Structure 1
Amino acid sequence: MNSSPSDLAQYPFTPKTFQTADGHQLSYLDEGDGPTVVMAHGNPSWSYLYRNVVTALKPKYRCLVPDHLGCGFSDKPQDYPYRLQNHIDNFTALLDSQGIERCVVVVHDWGGAIGMGWAGQHPERVAGLVVLNTAAFHSSRIPRRIAVCRWPLLGGLLVRGLNGFALPATFMAVNEKMRSEIKAGFLAPYDSWANRVAIHRFVQDIPLQPDHPSWKSLSRVESSLEQLRDKPMLICWGGGDFCFNDHFYAEWRQRFPAAQAHYFPEAGHYVLEEALPQVLEQLQPFLVSCHA
């Protein structure tokens, strides 16, 4: 990765680093002071997804935003397993290292399974949950354009060789054209075959069948959601998402009927890119109520 944080639009932050149990460097943002808000990104984004949320919240809150291993400014080891449980373990170790005893957890995309994987095992440390176009439960639904990226040989060529996952996300995850400097920010960590390793591994790690290595991990996450039913939850959903579509939105509402739910029909998968003011309008009072 040739870029530095200072090169990126709307990213006026200096990441910190944490060493995982297996010796890899995990990059994370730690901005602001006050009650803690932890944000978990998905694939193929990184902490850049939350840049404007951090800027808005840091005057009153401590914002902790890791780049999962293989993503953003974190190390990108080529022989790492990159399984769901690995990411949950790293997320847990980071929060423990920072002494996070109580926080609101914000999740998007794969961050749903990772963040909820931590939250369901530590409900006493959860002040509230914010759900943005994600899942933390089993589903057999997978768009064909993503399924192709899982095919042997062809998947690696598409995702790692041709950048056929991170690059298309800059126009498929939004419904309005992304500005060139923002597109460059999302793509900056993924500028080579080696640096796209985690993007491919995330796609391969979607557990669609019981014999998949991460099936049991996701089953544990799904089961642990029951521990969170009484927690305050805010759902902010982009209705134009081709992947996490209305089926997933309905699933969250069924599982958490008391949640505050807001649906933004014009926003895509990257809901924070196209409905940021509307999300912040709901998020800021929600955080006040969680930390009251």
Structure 2
Amino acid sequence: MFEGIALEDWAASSREFLFGRHRLRYWEAGEGEPLLLIHGFPSGAWDWNYLWPALTQRYRVIACDMLGFGFSDKPRGHAYSLLEQADIQQALLDHLGVVQYHLLAHDYGDSVAQEMLARDPQGESLRSLCFLNGGLFPETHRPVLLQRLLMSPIGPLIGRRFSRERMGRTFGRIFGINTQPTEQELDAFWAMMITNNGPAVMHRLIRYMAERPVHRDRWVAAMQQTVVPLRVIDGAEDPISGMHMVERYRELIPEADTVLLRGIGHYPQVEAPELVLEHYLAFRNRVG
């Protein structure tokens, strides 16, 4: 089992950059080819903590808490957008002087990665892209009850009443039966979410679910036509975007490169980091 990084140590190692007037926290370590990690909803970049030591031994690894997430600013009343989050990722790369990079994304981060791919389908900057579990196709996305409630007219109330207990129940349903989150992991997820009063903006962040259908055809066309090497590593037991999403991916994407992790749920980088690392490194070795 991989040894993780305690959240307080993770937070202490962060740096800060400005996007407009918003302060965002980011992490950078290692040497070699730049590898950008993009986290999912509703947590933050700490999601990658189990993989971080191994990846930073091989690559220059970069990750940030996106706007509204983790230890970054969470402005009230902000119109959060997947397109803006892609702008933020590019701004971070520019801030660090990165011209060419590889990308590993999860969940909400998959949609941000799809937008970045659509902007660079010829791979002038983006050299490879690996997706973990996420809503790559709106027609296969199966949101949990919490997500549906946040999208509803009572979304602001649901966010304000969100609790550690409710979060734990939700995460328990989307992790694998035999790879359930520990209490320490749940504490860390909760700490990221409540920092800077995160529950107050969850109903605004969740609007990404309405954005996905708007951009769906452009994003899917980019995946179908790109020269950028793609791979999906997916926890098969994920009720949100598990095996059923991979089946759709295989229908739509030519020469689909997919890996199904049996018994693993929505957070493979937390549930089975050793398997994710194995299959990610094999992908990178293949693409050169």
Partners of 1:127 and 1:58 lie apart in 2 by 18
Deviates more, 1:213-222 or 1:243-252: 213-222
Matched, 1:266 2:255: no
Could you tell me the TM-score, scaled by structure 2's length?
Answer: 0.86
Matches within 5 A, 1:186-225: 186-191=189-194, 194-207=197-210, 215-225=213-223
* Contact 2:242-2:265 within 8 A present in 1 as well: no
Could you tell me the TM-score, scaled by structure 1's length?
Answer: 0.85
1:194-213 Cα distance to aligned partner (Å, 9 max, x none): 32244322323312xxxxx6
1:225-265 Cα distance to aligned partner (Å, 9 max, x none): 3442x322222110111111322112222333434321112
**Residue 288 of structure 1 corresponds to which residue in structure 2?**
285
* Contact 1:268-1:274 within 8 A present in 2 as well: yes
Change in CA separation of 1:227 and 1:15 when aligned onto 2, cut-off 3 Å: farther
Q: 1 or 2, which has the higher helix percentage?
A: 2
Deviates more, 1:58-67 or 1:186-195: 186-195
1:39 offset after TM fit, Å?
0.9
**Residue 92 of structure 1 corresponds to which residue in structure 2?**
90
Partners of 2:89 and 2:11 lie apart in 1 by 23
Amino acid at match of 2:237: G
1:219 offset after TM fit, Å?
4.4
Change in CA separation of 1:96 and 1:227 when aligned onto 2, cut-off 3 Å: farther
Change in CA separation of 1:205 and 1:120 when aligned onto 2, cut-off 3 Å: closer
**Residue 161 of structure 1 corresponds to which residue in structure 2?**
161
SS at match of 1:188: helix
SS at match of 1:190: helix
CA RMSD of aligned residues (A): 2.5
Gaps of 5+ in 1: 1-5, 208-212
**Residue 133 of structure 2 corresponds to which residue in structure 1?**
133
Gaps of 5+ in 2: none
Deviates more, 1:249-258 or 1:99-108: 249-258
Q: Kindly, what percent of the aligned residue pairs are identical? A: 24
Amino acid at match of 1:156: P
1:167 offset after TM fit, Å?
4.0
Alignment size in residue pairs: 278
* Contact 1:69-1:198 within 8 A present in 2 as well: no
* Contact 2:71-2:196 within 8 A present in 1 as well: no
Partners of 1:264 and 1:36 lie apart in 2 by 26
Amino acid at match of 1:272: Q
Amino acid at match of 2:193: Y
SS at match of 2:27: strand
Partners of 1:48 and 1:83 lie apart in 2 by 21
Matches within 5 A, 1:111-126: 111-122=109-120, 123-126=123-126
